[in-house]
Amino acid sequence: MGELKSTKRRQGLRQVEVQRVAEESWTDEDFVATEEPLEIRLSHVGADKARTERSLAITMRTPGNDDELAAGFLLSEGIIKRRADLVSVTTVGPPAPSGLFNVVCATLADHVAVELERLERHFYTSSSCGVCGKASLAAVAVHSQYDVRATAFKIERGVLGALPTKLIAEQSVFERTGGLHASGLFDASGGVLAVREDVGRHNALDKLIGSRLLADGLPLAEFGILVSGRASFELMQKALIAGCPLVAAVGAPSSLAVDLAREFGMTLVGFLKRDRFNVYTRPDRISTGD
């Protein structure tokens, strides 16, 4: 079979020529999820009171909602803590050969003090695992300004079980490609308020959290987060930093995800299906109807 040939590009989708093989083989067209690098630059005021701009990170992402991705990333990395810390996120040109703009610059408010050591890591974040580029697990510290232990959020078992179907219904790119992760924000009645998709599970969650940050909608004390894959330590950390008391995953949780949820009083649900699921921590937030 020859090299796949691109025939069409759209934000989030790319149409390619493919050779389908069954009992016979034939040339056809298919859609794949777009994956391109995004460089996040940071403009901030240094110790000398002069404003400087530098590269902060590169992540492989699905184009779209890049401002939200950058905002969520800055929050989860502890570089900003609130909406007032971020002046703007702007696209930086020229466009890449693909026609997409793959550089954004986040401008911080003058009052934000930036730890230079944090910037000097210049780590590369892969689309599959946001912590892969960090030197060690010891470098991944939880710095949440919100205490979710006493949050009053509660949801009924049947309402929670219906959420995966609702999430899939909102995944427009996944429907065409089958190749994207998603994170959804839901309320206690089961209403899905927002969904973000990306080739990287951590990017999808950063986009979701970033959308709330830019709307000055943090903390997420009255909401839960649903992720389409497994629940990792990093996803739990991001949810905690955003002040979210409940994370539900269609897949399995990791041991560190369970440990983090237990330590900080979060509810963690895994293997979520309509008629069954596992609750690993704080089951009191889920009403069983008994």
Q: Would you please indicate which residues are annotated as catalytic (active-site) residues?
A: 129
Distance, CA of 290 to CA of 288 (rounded, Å): 5
Q: Is 220 exposed, middle or buried (0-12, 13-18, 19+ CB in 10 A)?
A: buried
**DSSP strands (E only) in 22-98:** 25-33, 36-45, 51-61, 86-91
**28, 197, 9, 99 alpha-carbon torsion, rounded to 10°:** -160
DSSP 67: H
Angle between helices 233-241 and 66-76 (to 10 degrees): 90
Can you tell me whether residue 283 is helix, strand or coil? helix
Give alpha helix (H) positions in 9-129: 66-76, 116-119
Distance, CA of 156 to CA of 162 (rounded, Å): 10
Give alpha helix (H) positions in 124-254: 157-161, 163-169, 172-177, 201-214, 233-241
Distance, CA of 206 to CA of 198 (rounded, Å): 10
Neighbouring residues of 154: CB distance < 8 A, sequence distance ≥ 6? 188, 284, 285, 286, 287
